[in-house]
Amino acid sequence: MDSESWKVQRQVSSHEFNTKSLRKFVETVVDVELNNRLLPILTDASKNQTILPDFQDILQRFTFDNICMIAFGFDPEYLLPSLPETAFVKAFDDSSRISSERVNAEIPFLWKVKKILNVGSERQLKEAVAEVRGLATRIVREKKKELEEKSALESLDILSRFLSSGHSDEAFVVDIVISFILSGRDTTSAALTWFFWLLSKHSHVENEILKEITGKSETDSYNEVKDMVYTHAALCESMRLYPPVPVDAKEAAYDDVLPDGTLVKKGWGDSTAPSQLFKFTPILLDFYCLEPPQKLALHHISLTLLSLGKSLQSCFRAHTVMVMQCRLSKV
């Protein structure tokens, strides 16, 4: 995505991502997915004393269904008892994987030649992108048609909000929802996976979190979730130890000079590894040694932003993770 388009998308998105109605919609979507799909799978495994083959895969499916519903009101039905493989999910995985291979290619010239010839991985990427954008475009057109027939869309997903607010450019809104899914899917499931793995290793922390959560109402409104200091800090600490975005790469858009006089040429890359940085920073204390719980809130804002990639969506994404984690912890 071009940098200028990215900036415009972030400016348009920043308002919607912080509305109370969207936060409430997120909580509703998570509750439905949890009670109708994830909980029955976990209950069945517990009743039959079976071990889930891949809990990370389960959480990724749980997250993907949630993210798609939040982004454009589409349910991929990825988290079902049969654990199906769907064309849309496969296309999403293939496009993400091949794009990543492009970035890390030792000889970029090769994938560029493949793209020109439309062969190999580049042909697969083209087909995968067409599958993802094709579905997103069909949903956009259906919602635009519904909007023409009604004064407003009944759906509360992000796509419906953009269309209702006058953003009718098809390519623009498709880019926004796909960008949201890309940024939220793997990072959210990774955060949840590491969090529960750490809890399994520290039972006293698990007990403290359960004590805090059970002291709240069954609804877990946004304000109550926000006030869960110990739970919030535990989640942030797990993201410090195992950041959902382990490596953050950037590329210079034009020639520049750093404050110390170092010349940076256009096209030069820079990678930051929060996964290593956070583990060796002396001022960040180990969560499992901090008492009382109030101290655990130290650095949580900066840690959350850094570990999630420092985008304008970070706060909203952190809230989404928090809601999912609180629901799962109660189970």
pLDDT-derived band of residue 292, with 50, 70 and 90 as boundaries?
A: very low
Give residue-wise pLDDT tens across range 226-250: 677 888 888 888 887 888 887 777 7
pLDDT(273) > 80: no
Is residue 21 within 8 A of residue 158, CB to CB? The reply is no
Beta carbons within 8 Å of 261's beta carbon, 6+ residues apart? none
- pLDDT score of 172: 82
In this structure, how many other beta carbons lie within 10 angstroms of the beta carbon of residue 107?
Answer: 8
pTM of the entire structure? 0.77
**What is the pLDDT averaged over residues 81-86?**
87
Question: Structurally, how many domains does the chain consist of?
Answer: 1
Q: Which residue's structure tokens are 């579905």? A: 135
Structure tokens at 297: 């809130």
Which burial class, exposed, middle or buried, applies to 195 when counting CB atoms under 10 A from its CB (0-12, 13-18, 19+)? buried
Structural domain including 98 reads: 3-330
Say which CATH number the domain at 281 has.
1.10.630.10
Cα distance between residue 305 and residue 79, in whole Å: 29
